[in-house]
């Protein structure tokens, strides 16, 4: 992915690539990535925060809430990714690593 697919996508336009390693708590991992993760767009190669919670406690609470919401309604993940795409005017690729 990193060596082939991602560079090729970035040649073709603005992309936000979100890498997630799900581990034992996949919804928690995805929520953490969306709340406090980093993204890199093709136009700007430096990572920046997706959202900016005001404190670590706020971040942890936002992650728990989002994780529970995604677990209860998986379609919400697609909605959040679409929202990010629209806000940043870029395509979004969610890479889930180590799914085995």
Q: Look at residue 99 and tell me whether its pLDDT is greater than 80.
A: no
Distance CA 38, CA 12 (A): 21
Give the number of residues written for the chain: 100
Overall pTM surpassing 0.95 (yes/no): no
Domain ranges of the chain: 5-96
Output the pLDDT for position 100. 57
Distance CA 64, CA 81 (A): 18
Query: Which position has the higher pLDDT, 28 or 1?
Result: 28
Residues 6+ positions from 5 with CB-CB distance below 8 Å = none
- Cβ contact 20:30 at 8 Å: yes
Distances (CA, A) of 64 to 60, 86, 88, 89, 97: 6, 24, 24, 27, 21
């Amino acid at each position: 992915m990193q060596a082939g697919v991602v560079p090729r996508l970035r040649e073709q336009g603005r992309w936000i690539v979100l890498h997630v390693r799900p581990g034992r708590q996949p919804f928690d991992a995805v929520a953490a990535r969306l709340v406090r993760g980093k993204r890199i767009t093709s136009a700007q190669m430096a990572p920046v925060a997706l959202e900016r919670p005001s404190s670590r406690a706020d971040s942890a609470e936002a992650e728990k809430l989002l994780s529970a919401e995604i677990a209860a309604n998986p379609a919400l993940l697609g909605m959040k990714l679409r929202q990010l795409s629209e806000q940043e005017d870029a395509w979004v690729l969610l890479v889930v690593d180590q799914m085995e």
